[in-house]
A and B are shown apart, each in its own frame.
Chain A
Amino acid sequence: MDTAAAVIVSMMAAATPLLYAALGELVTEKSGVLNLGVEGMMITGAVTAFATATITGSSAIGIVAGAAAAMALSLIFAVLTLSLVANQVATGLALTIFGIGLSALIGQGYVGTPLDALPKLDIPGISDIAFVGPVVFGHDFLIYFSFVMVGVVAWFLYKTRAGLVLRAVGESHDAAHAIGYPVIGIRYLAVAFGGAMAGVGGAYLSVAYTPMWIENMTAGRGWIALALVVFATWRPGRVLLGAYLFGGVTILQLHGQGFGLGIASQILSMLPYLATILVLVLISSDRALIRLNAPADIGKIFRPAS
């Protein structure tokens, strides 16, 4: 594999956890709910997937378990914010604090345990072609599936009736309620989907990207995913673009020392976080762009007038 192909392949792997988490959060936010607990759901997904994969010997079961665990966590958020009308910002933060603690608790027996990485596609002859082989035909199935999910989310939101209803709920829950749509029920589903996707993103970290369990291994990726949704102005296609951009920044940081830049590793590690701030500033400063694209009722509490 030549250097260019290696860089692209590692960029794709770095982008994939962000892509899953951000896609899920996009759907949640489109329904008008701001779940700041992505980091907590990702880390719970990561540890559950790792533990399950270690016990069962199956990465696939691990990934499903990771998604389920993160979804369970997101349902706590849903009950608190949707049924018990708690503040979404505070509840999201609680979810992150809880998730980080819980994951360390579950994972304490798994630190340092080895796990085989998710197998990569290997078509004899084709996967060996220079550049095209590794870049197009040399990934694990979660990377291919992430592309499918970008298409599915875009199709669902903009081409289906259910997607239209979900967006309507996010734009004006009072209007949607008046027409007779079950606002709370739809938001429950959107939050659960966001949770499952964050779980898959976390699972990708622990069973494919770096197949091991380290406390706090998400290292802020859940928060970066939240920023990506803003960067993408709530469009699935642009989430893909943003995630790959951030994958690139991560790789730049990882390979920075290899290129002999002579910059301390800690300074290079700041890059993804500084890039997130820069990107947020660039997109958010266009207030009209945000106003046009952000779901109008995001973060607002809905209580049906009885």
Chain B
Amino acid sequence: MLPRLEPRSGVSAAMMLLTPAIAVGLTLIAGVIMFAALGFDPGRALYTFFVKPVSTLYGVSELLVKATPLAIIGIGLALGFRANVWNIGAEGQFTLGAICGGGVALALHGVESWLVLPAMAVAGILGGLAWGAIPALLRVRFNANEILTSLMLTYVATLLLSYLVHGPWRDPDGLNFPESRMFEDSALLPVILDETRLSIAAPITLLIVLAGWLVLSRAFLGFQIKVVGQSPAAASYAGFSEKRLIWTTLCVSGALAGLAGMFEVSGPIGQLHPVVSPGYGFTAIIVAFLGRLHPVGVLFASLLIALSYLGGELAQIELKLPLALTGVFQGMLLFFLLGTDVLIRYRVRFGRRGAQIALPQGG
């Protein structure tokens, strides 16, 4: 008796919330098998990976520091994914935000004004927005696939940052390392918890979550996004402009990624490096899906995924496990989530097709 899939009459709301939990459970089981295969005590490894990082107040603050960019980017991506606009280049938009925000900080070096940070934020947002607007233009005007163009622009952005910190923006007083000078205090985000790196970026993230939730549930834009995602034909009959949605979602997700990039360099990093992100832009894709493409869900998902970053770092230090395990865990989680998501629209049935009808015929 092979299991088979039977369509549900509608979308199962319970499964929408249950499958992420099932996926996390399956990922942990797979993790146990993987750790055992690598020759580690699975219990100790899982504890090091998922519990120990948040066993101190500092650990929790670091969790929030890592979750902040993931949540900000993830909310923007979720809006686009709902409308079937696939912005895969958030990493590049994040990098551009870091470049523009950081550029302003370097340009205003020596300026002691509260206006420095807002100026950096505006520059970061505009940088990310511009980098997101390019794929939008190419898609709307030239029909070019936004997945590929936004991704190619990520490589361009990374190389641009590398060029800047190796060349024109290199610290003039430094030891020839490829990095900019440290930002002045006026260009650093205020820390809200002493002895930690937790900055005002965290509460701002909550405001963005709220804004995203309002847009999706109350605004006409959110309604259009949902209709386009669920039924492109209906959206077209209703006269919703697909082009405008492509523009809006790519610009909004680009702007948010840019803001996250600016937060990163003016917060935890404090200067420009050749590498400003451990793949936040790509990981935020997983965050968006795990969070059910909903801003509140994205918030919770960002915390979970942030934990996998912290766990990976700690496991590298304590167990000498490779840092790449983080990516493996994240990829597995998305696999299991996508696989179990079938339960939202289908139920699994065992037994032969049409067995119920066969009974009365037999009698």
Task: Mark A residues whose CB is within 8 Å of B.
Answer: 36, 76, 79-80, 84-87, 89-91, 93-95, 97-105, 108, 215, 219-220, 223-224, 226-227, 230, 264, 266-267, 269-270, 273-274, 276-277, 280-281, 284-285, 287, 290, 303, 306
Among A99, A101, A306: residue with most chain B CB under 10 A:
A101
Q: Tell me how far the C-beta of A173 lies from the nearest C-beta in chain B, rounded to whole angstroms.
A: 16
A101 touches B334 (CB 8 A): no
For B144, give its contact among A90, A97, A224, A277 (CB under 8 Å): A277
Contacts of A98 in B (CB 8 A): 327-328, 330-332, 334-335
A281 touches B144 (CB 8 A): yes
B338 touches A91 (CB 8 A): yes
Contacts of B143 in A (CB 8 A): 284-285, 287, 290
List 21 contacting pairs A-B, 8 Å CB cutoff, sorted by A: A85-B346, A86-B341, A93-B285, A94-B331, A97-B285, A101-B325, A102-B327, A104-B322, A105-B324, A215-B324, A220-B151, A220-B152, A226-B148, A270-B155, A270-B159, A277-B153, A281-B138, A281-B142, A284-B144, A284-B145, A285-B141
B145 touches A264 (CB 8 A): no
Q: A80-B335, A90-B334 are in contact. Are A97 and B148 (CB under 8 A)?
A: no
Q: A270-B156, A281-B138 are in contact. Are A108 and B163 (CB under 8 A)?
A: no
B193 part of interface (Cβ distance < 8 Å): no
A267 touches B353 (CB 8 A): no
Question: Would you list the 5 A-B pairs with minimal beta carbon distance, nearest first?
Answer: A101-B327, A98-B331, A104-B324, A266-B163, A94-B334
Return the chain B residue nearest A106 by Cβ.
B324
Q: Tell me how far the C-beta of A188 lies from the nearest C-beta in chain B, rounded to whole angstroms.
A: 16
Contacts of B149 in A (CB 8 A): 277, 280-281
Please tell me the size bucket of the interface on B: 35 or more
For B162, give its contact among A230, A266, A287, A290 (CB under 8 Å): A266
A266 touches B160 (CB 8 A): yes
Among A80, A264, A273: residue with most chain B CB under 10 A:
A273
A94 touches B152 (CB 8 A): no
Q: A80-B339, A89-B86 are in contact. Are A104 and B144 (CB under 8 A)?
A: no
| C-alpha spacing A215/B7, complex, angstroms | 43
| C-alpha spacing A94/B138, complex, angstroms | 25
For A97, give its contact among B142, B151, B160, B286 (CB under 8 Å): B286
For B5, give its contact among A85, A89, A223, A273 (CB under 8 Å): A85
A-B contacts besides A90-B334, A264-B166, A281-B142, 6 pairs, CB < 8 Å:
A90-B285, A90-B289, A94-B334, A101-B330, A102-B328, A277-B152
